[in-house]
Amino acid sequence: MTEFLQTIILGLLIGGVYALLASGLTLIFGVMNVINVAHGAFLILAAFVAYSLWTATGLDPLLSIAVTTPAMFAFGWLLYGGTIRRIRTAGPASSVLLTFALALVFEGVMGLVWGNTSHAIRPAYFNESFAIGDLFLPKAQVYGCLVAVGVLIGLYVFLARTWTGRAIRAAAVNPYGAALVGVNVAAVATMTFAIGVATTGAGGSIVGVLYPFLPGSHYQWISRLLGIIVLGGMGSLPGAVVGALLIGVGETLTTTYISPAWTTAVPYVVIFVVLLCRPQGLLGARLREDVAV
């Protein structure tokens, strides 16, 4: 029983981190109808940046998000203006292929800069745990989850309370309608992409602490994140949170009760099952497809 409880709690902790990582991906999809396949590569890039900051200055990776988040925001802004903006209206194939191409380019760049070996950020508290009765909660996971949830709440407040946030949500629901009531949809798209990429700034720092990583890790991450947003319903932010918690728990259960070797299969299986049985995901509404358009 303790083992089961422990497994569930660890799954929820990691699920909280996943929720932050998937939020940017689902936000970009919701507003722009673009699956940013390079999201995993950006995440690993942010992890490498946090790693370099940590080795150079000893700055705690969970504090360096104050640097990496704005840096990734600027990075996303520039990248959008330079590449993705040009194919916004060109259909799913173009955007998937372009972002996948970007993922490969950044995988290569990271390999050249940091090398293709496994890296890890190990702050002093890495091997420490909080003990609650029979349960023990690794400090790194607890801190990581808290930071992730904090950033996620910040994102939520931004979307719910600010004019820009409302403009983003409006553009997600109906870009034409939003344009008619004075929202500059092109600017909102740039902003959304930059915000989506900025979430990988915080996410990358946390991931760098919790997992070893190398440039090629981005495939595994993008698969996991795609599994999460497919499960939650593509484009739905609450869906991403629910999907992330379920996948987190699903992974820890698989690790404990089946085999760690099959943990990476969880998102793939989820993708197959969800798209086969309920293509709109858990919380994605199947909206009225206007057949006339």
Partner 1 sequence: MRRLIPRSRWGVVLALLWLALLLYPFASDDLFYQNMIILSLIFAIGATGLNIISGYGGYVSLGQSAFLGIGAYTVGLMSVRVDASPFVWVPLAGVVGALFAMGLGLVAMRTRGHAFVIITIAFLLLTQLVLLNWPSFTKGSSGLSLPLAQWDPAYQNWPFYYSLAALLAASVLLSWWIRRTKLGMGLVAMREDEDKAATVGISTPTYKMLGFVASAVPLSMAGGVYAYYLNFIDPRGMFDIVISVQIILSVLLGGRGTLWGPVLGAFIIEPLNEFANQSLGGGNSRLLIFGGLMALVVLFMPQGIVPAVGGWLERRRRRGEDAIVGARLESPLVMAEREAPVGHEVSAGRTLLEVKGLEKRFGGVRAVDDCSFAVPEGSITALIGPNGSGKTTVFNLIDGTMRPRGGEVWFDGRRIDGLRPWRRAHLGLGRTFQITRLFREMSVLENVVAPLRSFSWRQLNAGAVSGAERERAEELLEFVGMARYRDQPAKALSYGQQKLVELAQVLMLDPKLVLLDEPAGGINPTAIERMGEMIRELNRRGTTFLIVEHNMPFVLGLCDPVLVLARGTCICEGPPEVVHRDPRVLDAYLGEDYVHEEAVRA
Site for partner 1 in 268-287 (CB under 8 A): 268-269, 271-272, 275-276, 279, 285, 287
What is the C-alpha separation between 73 and 285, in angstroms, rounded? Answer: 29
Interface with partner 1 includes 109 (CB under 8 A)?
yes
Rg (CA), the chain: 19
C-beta closer to partner 1: residue 96 or 179: 96
Could you give the string, one character per residue 55-94, with x where binding to partner 1 holds by CB under 8 A and - elsewhere? ----------------------------x--xx--x-xxx
CB atoms within 10 A of CB 118: 11
Type of residue numbered 281: G
C-beta closer to partner 1: residue 169 or 224: 224
Q: Are the C-beta atoms of 228 and 20 separated by less than 8 Å?
A: no
Could you give the string, one character per residue 225-264, with x where binding to partner 1 holds by CB under 8 A and - elsewhere? -xx--x---x------------------------x-xx-x
Dihedral sign for Cα atoms in the order 286, 287, 291, 293? negative
C-beta closer to partner 1: residue 87 or 146: 87
The kind and range of the H/E element at 135 are: strand 135-138
For the bound state, the minimum distance from the C-beta of residue 173 to partner 1, rounded and expressed in Å, comes to 13
Chain-centroid distance of CA 178 in Å reads 26
For the bound state, the minimum distance from the C-beta of residue 3 to partner 1, rounded and expressed in Å, comes to 23
For the bound state, the minimum distance from the C-beta of residue 86 to partner 1, rounded and expressed in Å, comes to 6
> Alpha carbon of 49 to those of 7, 90, 120, 149, 158: distances in Å?
31, 33, 12, 21, 26
